[in-house]
Structure 1
């Protein structure tokens, strides 16, 4: 009873209601909320503190950044979502907030797009600075255990490297990526490698251009740390995954390498086992296997989840 009353009291203020409506659209930093709300940083921080104390929001600290999102604990999620559903989406102030939120998201996307275009030819070299790709690829194949008859999708395929790794172990494969520069390289690599059962097309991880339950196996390889909304990206992967199918996520464990955010447009500085487990559970997936590949300074983690 006390928990519900505290949550209702916290939400019973216009700015905090606006914050909840915004955080329902994805993870946001204090500075982004300050820009959208047009209020001072101390005032916004105070509202966020009250919402977190009431169990409506959770804080995720990554280096010098702190993200805020709707509470994702199983006991809180249904209640929090019901409260968010009560917020009038056609309110004039909330509509303006969403417009500013879209501006923030466009700016993020433009920065990421510019980065990918500048570094398309150097992409493999840049990734090699952070992790031994060959070791990761061998571990990924061993964990997933493809049988040779799967329809396969690689989300955020980049240069098409994962398609090449899986090409001889699947029935057919697709890769999607937003960057036309990356796709040009991927097509050339697949042709040179003789992966004629694989193809690529332009597509958004948030709007995968395939119908529901189209694939037996999906990979999201070193992509999720760029995602504005990792939950939404995983949910979209789950949508096109067949029941009993596998989703393999490869990304960094939590770290403090701020240079990856500043120089390479990483939105997130890694993911913990618990956070990925919570995300997958929310999307109708269950993590079956986890493997860590320690590095210096970065550790790569592999998660394999099954659609329930």
Structure 2
């Protein structure tokens, strides 16, 4: 598929020969070097961003758990501790070498497995990425291979992964999947909107939420629902699953967790901070959800059938 897409792109003149010549300027030998001094010197400059980095690290942790679970559902069990340690150690080594991007478990295990990928594919991928960065040929490959030829592969992986999620989930719990998708859809729409505004040389604040709302783009809603999607989607999923399975106390804990995350601006907020005014509406909302679960628990506890069960248990 990749080769066919590349050939067709060049045959129909969709690729630029000049881009290949320009990409060759990045050729060279770029061995990794240790930057411990730079790392230590950069810590004071990084501290103001720690409030944003911690939620991102937590989101990365959630991604790992999700993908480990996906592999387990596909029939391949991996020990969570070993995966997390390998992930963390790799990220630390990369950090010492000047890499600002953390490592995460790649999504789509079921899709790659359906294509016949195994341990050899994983090793080959890692080795290829190392050689590409070592000799600076990434720009050259992007100039030769069109993005349009790569996207269908990712679409296929996404379809297989989505199919696996729905297939492996008990029917009673399927609504939880779609509940978790809402923050992610908002996150996608927010990213798309911000990119368009940036391309036009402006921002959402400059255009104004009211102006965009008049055109059917509810920017404030996207900002609050889309920010913190990796974590808020998990909170929403917990609330939904505990409601479906009638576990009110656990649902109350999930609601309280959502309130705590909101009050610190970790979810539903573009910036991290304590008790920010825009975030308080979500704090109150999550507390109301928790209160509803507590009320449900008290009603169940005082229900006649519950009292009868307690009497039978004592007998």
User: Between Structure 1 and Structure 2, which shows a larger proportion of strand residues?
Assistant: 1
Would you call these one fold, judging by a TM-score over 0.5?
no
Structure exhibiting the larger radius of gyration computed from Cα positions: 2
TM-score band, normalised by the shorter chain?
under 0.3
**TM-score by structure 2 length?**
0.23
